[in-house]
Structure 1
């Protein structure tokens, strides 16, 4: 194509340009022919050549000579264009979460795809099978549905609204997902389903069950894949070869041209909300994506035993259809709540004597127990009793956590590590002591306390631990879970990782040993998170009714607390999420908090806290005359709770409005002004800033 060819077509191309670059959402290029919207292309950008997405034709500017517009370098005709539904999803996410279109669109593609040439892509496509993968030739036996499960599957097929599947832990929600998917694929041989999970490695049984039922029709998309695997799986989904995609939050952006069903399992989990880049909620985008594809019959199911209060409110107001599955499979009993009043226990007790005795009794009968402590490491801090020195991180406003296994102090925020000092750095005292307790210390104490106990076969009791430290090595998580399933571990100590979606069959006792920190936290979401964590942890117990009956045992949730009269425990004792949700929503309505209002955070980071706060004050001043300002409250800038991380000071400004459109209008008009604020002399130390729409943490 000649550089000045008057017959060339002008096309808008989306490239990965950050929001602050000033390049705009779309760049104009020339091509020797019209390109279908969604076509992948390679284009020059400065001195580089980058992957872009043709977003559609654009009229030629008569004042601009054709040779001034750079030509498209390559057109990837071998790959089907990204369809209109996918482009609409990306455009909505960019608009709603205040990011550039290209930043969201290109981040949604596999990183390896961005590095290929058209020749390399063609070779990869030639090696891939063109046909859609069939379902398993010899599927596992399909169990008969209970009446509640059958009603849930029928509701999913019939409802044009999002379905909130409010299913108790152990009620058989996974089988509902499987059979709803099977019916979809039976009706439409080309249909595709997307199943989202909070963390792929914490729900291995879900993947195993889908693969057992559907065979090679299942593929996965998550960050643990190698770049080559992620590209291969994405291509299979984009070309319709993968009928079912199982993935984490990033999979909500997968290109699925025949998407007809979206399942969001454990929809309450905060992992669905991204905390960097475009801070999107995969759950909310799944609902939008299903709505956008509703003309083609796309359904969305949000499943949880403890739904997010936003989802519960949407069901109560009629926007979602709630389907209840209140009973556990096989008539399994609910765990009975046992509260241990720490005010009546010896000071510094890690495990109250009654709780320890209950664990011993379970293990002697061949049962298993879970012990939950949502704090990893040996101790949160080491301290000097003489001068009061504490092991603080030099780069963060946080303490260095003591890890006894390797005698190290580590920051769980910036990664800084140091050896434990031989003496107090301030006064030279040799007697440094750990304060508080983490999972590593709890494991040690349980090992000591249960060391003389024997299992029914005479072998010693075995204690295991599952947290971010023990799961770091490749395959370590899977080995630990397999050991629990096989009975090789009798007591599993861990953080919230142990409460997420695991189908343990021999656990009859769950204990939470350090609960009170969340009862009176300043974060207004803390009660919801605590109730959810305890309900989910309790749901790991008593899942096999036949085993419990054969043992002539009871199923219990033990909670150590100094506040047993707290109303949260009353609802927990009844396993009454509905009552807890009603009470929490009433408090939020009175206070004007979400879901009765809508929020956004403007965060600023700088080397000096004064610079971050000054920039936020200028930002607030710049919003005084923007659209929607009359309906939006801007609170004063404040330092974040964890003010310094990795040597960077952090501050934030909260925006709140009862009207989502007003908040969105203000944010959209505010963005161009925010990009110009670095010019102020008192804000030149600003490192970066970002907007977080619908924030989950403050």
Structure 2
């Protein structure tokens, strides 16, 4: 029997070889069912007849699950590169690129999807027979018009099951080519000279690997550049991938693309069902999905003919996976484009310093859009000094006056506060005791609607106590302010206008985000309150005033990236104002109006700030001028983490003198979920030398007894130092 090497979804950095029984044939990239200890696992064949296998100790595989490889050559190269670069077990990297149903061993129905249609019994039914089941009646009426495809039925699973049980509907398998929307197509807009130059440069790069940074001020028409660059790609019969940082941006982006192109479009994000994700995966592989709009994991979809890759809001930290396989979708997307030999466009009003550095080095072509696409003026930014002011629920009198004035004129107002919940903690008026998480070194956030204290770090929940945990007093009151409290207080202060809250709590239920966004898009006067979800790419043309309620909480931080992130946030939030025909104003409430960062961003714009920040990074020898890797530990005994990282630090100091280190250090949140946390930061100007040091450290650390007592991770190109 011949041998095969199989990648398995286990957190181990070793190879797993098996025997291939006579009569079975496999190819690299197919799934196989193999014995693993007392379990059976689904793995991916990664090598045929490995020369270093030990045939006398190998077990035979149980079954071959695919006739054709699930991974093409380009995807295999991408995933192999990712496993090596991020020093993550290959098996876990491979399964992260598959939908959950394929990881479980389910069959692939290549080239086909499902539609729901009425049976003969369903067609013969009268509407009066469903009067007591309004949801079934609504779905029955929709199906009277035409069959409905699977991914257009999200949130209807209970209704569908009830109608299936009654024999009123049935599933029918159809080719993916039947899933072609026919929207009312909009004509391309007239481009200004900067937009036209950008589109021309992207089009000229067709069929070759080219990297572009599209830097445009908010409202400069970056999406129109994307759309006009996509058009010739579709005419050539090629596919397009558009990565967005947040689930919240996929519905509006899809709607805008659907109005322009009469081609099959699809979305990809974590809120989809397993069946929806499998169908999207298969449409990508078959080539039937012309445009895919998705979050970071869409990068691994197996496109048949990828012709253009676009990353919108490329600066956003959401593109970096922060647990498990810690990859950065922006950086891997560049590798994906190189393997596909297609152009990649990174777009942002506030580009990351890493991308601007690549422009300086000549690796990226710079496509600037310095002006708004229409006659709209850039919003006016005003600093409101809070010192010696009387605040009403966190808002100055001048702020409230402007809010009321805009609402009375029929306009919308947006208030940004990056803290969800009702209050960051509860405080005892008698002794000053604060509600703390019992498992983390952090306070628990008070959520008034659910009457719970929630730790936003570990997720622990508990009921609101009736008494102080220190002195027994019942005088407990909220301290600080969150979006839930701001919403309630604005409803009391300005009762004549609706308050719409957009945060993770208000959009938790499926479909709730789309409902709230459509309510805002109607343009009726309203107050919009939200967190970072509001800052990213939304187009609300009737918003004329944006208020950043609390700027000061982000001005001081131990993280060297804090100033960059704050400047990006200020610019992005400010860009939500004045996007229609109404002039926009941005109010920043602060106790420190003279702060250099605020003054630089307001007076000179993000571009000026970014250039000075790059110079500062160069002088302090911080990324992107050096490469960063981070070892993290979590352990119940604090000294175990320190001892483990100290061994790695001594190893690096002895064998890799050109690699600088900082630590072991306590992060700002030193205890999380009951475990003490430590970190070791490694810096090196030569990327190759840093990865050699990481290889050495990983090889040695796996054999340490401490490695079995603690949880530890390696984060290459780490963004979050907290």
Please give the TM-score of this superposition, normalised by the length of structure 2. Answer: 0.87
Match of 1:572 among 594, 601, 605: 601
Partner Cα distance (2:314, 2:351) in 1: 7
Distance 2:418 2:515 in 1: 21
Distance 1:418 1:192, change over 3 A: same
Question: Which of 213, 217, 233 is equivalent to 2:280?
Answer: 233
Range 630-639 or range 222-231, more displaced:
630-639
Given the alignment of the two structures, is residue 444 of structure 1 paired with residue 488 of structure 2, yes or no?
Answer: yes
Identify which range, 505-514 or 665-674, moves more after superposition: 665-674
The 2-side partners of 1:122 and 1:482 are apart by 34
Q: Which moved further from structure 2: 35-44 or 268-277?
A: 35-44
Determine the structure 1 residue equivalent to 2:576: 540
Would you say 1:40 and 2:36 are equivalent positions? no
Question: 1:425: how far off?
Answer: 2.2
Q: Counterparts of 1:559 and 1:12 in 2: how far apart (Å)?
A: 59
Check whether the contact 1:464–1:489 (CA below 8 A) recurs between aligned residues.
Answer: no
Question: Alignment partner of 2:718: what SS?
Answer: coil
* 2:420 partner SS: coil
Paired residues for 1:634-653 under 5 Å: 634-653=661-680
> Which of 502, 510, 518 is the matching residue for 2:554?
518
Query: Residues 601 and 655 of structure 1 are in contact (CA less than 8 Å); yes or no, is this contact kept in structure 2?
Result: yes
Aligned-partner Cα distance in 2 for 1:350–1:332: 31
Q: 1:132 to 1:287 in 2, by over 3 A?
A: farther
Which position in structure 2 is the counterpart of 1:76? 66
CA distance in 1, matches of 2:708, 2:54: 38
Report what 1:110 is aligned to.
99
Aligned partner of 1:173 in structure 2 is 222
Q: In the TM superposition, what is the alpha-carbon distance from 1:92 to its structure 2 partner?
A: 0.8
1:509 aligns with 2:538: no
Aligned residue runs from structure 1 range 48-67, under 5 A: 48-59=39-50, 64-65=55-56
The alpha-carbon distance between structure 1 residues 146 and 121, as it changes in their structure 2 partners (threshold 3 A), is closer
Structure-1 separation of matches of 2:179 and 2:426: 56
CA distance in 2, matches of 1:589, 1:60: 47
Cα deviation digits, residues 9-42 of structure 1 (max 9, x gap): 43332222313xx5x1453432546644323333
Q: How far 1:404 sits from its partner (Å)?
A: 2.3
Deviation at 1:216, TM superposition (A): 5.1
The alpha-carbon deviation at position 685 of structure 1 amounts to 4.0
Query: Is the Cα–Cα contact under 8 Å of residues 5 and 50 in structure 2 kept in the other structure?
Result: no
Deviation at 1:61, TM superposition (A): 6.6
- Of 606, 620, 628 in structure 1, the residue corresponding to residue 635 of structure 2 is 606
Q: Distance in 1 between matches of 2:106 and 2:468?
A: 59
Residue 3 of structure 2 corresponds to 10
* Compared CA separation, residues 630 and 348, structure 1 to 2 (3 A): farther
- TM-score by structure 1 length? 0.90
Cα distance, 1:282 vs structure 2: 0.3
**Hey, what does 1:321 align to over in structure 2?**
365
Shift in alpha-carbon separation, 1:214–1:633, aligned structure 2, 3 A? same
Counterpart pick for 1:402 among 442, 446, 457: 446
Q: Which residue of 1 aligns with 2:715?
A: 692
Q: Where does structure 2 lack aligned partners over 5 or more consecutive residues?
A: 115-171
> Does structure 1 retain, via aligned residues, the 8 Å contact 2:32–2:61?
no
Q: Distance in 2 between matches of 1:510 and 1:359?
A: 9
* Contact kept? 1:38, 1:53, Cα under 8 Å: yes
Report Cα offsets for 1:228-254 as digits up to 9, x if no partner: 111111011112221221110011111
**CA deviation digits over 1:488-533, x for unaligned, max 9?**
4511111111111111010011010100121121111111111111
RMSD between superposed Cα atoms in Å: 2.4
For 2:246, the equivalent position in structure 1 comes to 199
3-state SS, counterpart of residue 617 of structure 1 = helix
Alignment map for 1:378-389 (pairs within 5 Å): 378-389=422-433
Tell me the secondary structure at the aligned position of residue 374 of structure 2.
Answer: helix
Q: Would you say 1:563 and 2:592 are equivalent positions? A: yes
Counterpart of 1:88?
Answer: 77
How many residues matched? 660
Q: CA deviation at 1:444?
A: 2.4
* Corresponding position of 1:479: 515
Q: Bigger CA drift: 216-225 or 522-531? A: 216-225
Change (3 A) 1:407 1:62: closer
1:557 match: secondary structure? strand
Matches of 2:550 and 2:392, distance apart in 1: 11
Structure 2 matches for 1:347-426, cutoff 5 A? 350-426=394-470
CA spacing shift, 1:114–1:408, aligned 2, 3 Å: closer
**Cα drift, residue 693 of structure 1:** 0.6
Q: CA deviation at 1:124?
A: 7.1
SS at 2:395's partner residue?
A: coil
Q: CA deviation at 1:57?
A: 2.2
How far is 1:211 from its partner? 2.3
Q: CA deviation at 1:562?
A: 1.3
SS for the counterpart of 1:366 is coil
Residue 107 of structure 1: how far off its partner (Å): 1.6
Which whole-Å CA distance do the structure 1 matches of 2:53 and 2:374 have between them? 74
Cα separation, 2, equivalents of 1:656 and 1:243: 42
**Does residue 1:156 correspond to 2:202, yes or no?**
yes
**Contact 1:409/1:418 (<8 A) preserved:** yes
- Give the superposition deviation at 1:134: 5.7
Does structure 2 conserve the Cα–Cα contact (< 8 Å) formed by 1:37 and 1:81? no
Q: SS of 2:667's equivalent?
A: strand
Q: Aligned-pair distance for 1:634?
A: 2.2
**Once structures 1 and 2 are overlaid, which stretch shifts more, 585-594 or 400-409?**
400-409
Structure 2 CA distance for partners of 1:119 and 1:490, relative to 1, 3 Å: closer
Distance, in Å, in 1 between the alignment partners of 2:107 and 2:276 is 19
Equivalent residue, structure 2, for 1:496:
532
* 1:618-633 mapped onto 2 (5 Å cutoff): 618-626=647-655, 629-633=656-660
- SS of aligned partner of 1:504: coil
Q: Is the 8 A contact 1:290 1:299 kept in 2?
A: yes
Distance 1:669 1:153, change over 3 A: same
Cα distance change of structure 1 residues 117 and 415 upon mapping to structure 2, 3 Å threshold: closer
CA contact (8 A) 1:611 1:684 kept: no
Match among 143, 160, 164 for residue 189 of structure 2? 143
Of 322, 339, 346, which residue of structure 2 is paired with 1:292?
Answer: 339
- Residues 210-269 of structure 1 show CA distances to partners (whole Å, capped at 9, x for unaligned) of 223334521222111101111111011112221221110011111113112110001011
Report the CA distance shift for 1:394/1:59 in structure 2 as closer, same or farther (over 3 A).
closer
Task: Report the counterpart of residue 317 of structure 2 in structure 1.
Answer: 270
Q: After superposition, what is the alpha-carbon deviation per residue over 1:68-118, rounded to whole angstroms, capped at 9, x for unaligned?
A: 4514621511x4552111011101110111101111011211110122355
Aligned position for 2:131? none
Kept in 1, the 8 Å contact 2:417–2:550? The answer is yes
Tell me the distance in 1 between the aligned counterparts of 2:108 and 2:98.
Answer: 18
Shift of 1:321: 0.6
C-alpha spacing 1:486/1:348, structure 2 compared with 1 (3 Å): closer
Aligned twin of 2:148 = none
The corresponding residue for 2:328 is: 281
Equivalent-residue separation in structure 1 for 2:302 and 2:418 (angstroms):
36
